[in-house]
Amino acid sequence: MTRTHWLVYICGSLIAFVWEIYQMPFFVPGNLEPYEQTIRCGIASLGDGLILLAAYTLAAMKGGRAWFRQGARISYAIYFGFGLVVAIAVEIMATSLPSDSLLSWRYSDLMPHEPLTGMALIPIAMWTIVPALTILLVRFAQTERN
């Protein structure tokens, strides 16, 4: 893995962790204690980092490792599109599992939903904002050239 890969994973996971913590009011905590919720957010953010890493890698296959500095539209579409598709799939699966499952969650009454499909909007917003902030931080870090 290159320095850019590590930066995407580390920066993405950290940004995702902050997002995961702040979105907690939009989810039902179940029987979890606050420290257990924090652990779950940490685990989720590491998974988010892996999704970001996969998205970056797929975009790099098309546009080279420095695609995010070259303004390659197709690479940006791959990067953001992959994350959104995975996020939607994970949300559908997790909310379809039994509520007592370790890999499931439920939304609180605060969660806004898209009116036509009923899709939760906070996770969708996450997969537009977190990837964008990750790329901005990676660009700022002046990673290696393609």
pLDDT given at position 127 = 93
**Residue 50 burial class via C-beta count within 10 angstroms: exposed 0-12, middle 13-18, buried 19 and up:** middle
Q: Are 80 and 73 in contact (CB under 8 A)?
A: no
User: Torsion-angle region of residue 32: left (phi > 0), alpha (psi -120 to 50) or beta?
Assistant: beta
Q: Residue 144 in 3-state DSSP? A: coil
pLDDT given at position 146 = 46
Percent of the chain with pLDDT over 90: 64
pLDDT given at position 72 = 79
pLDDT given at position 145 = 52
User: pLDDT tens across 23-55, in order?
Assistant: 999 998 877 788 988 998 999 999 999 999 999
Taking the complete model, does pTM exceed 0.75, yes or no? yes
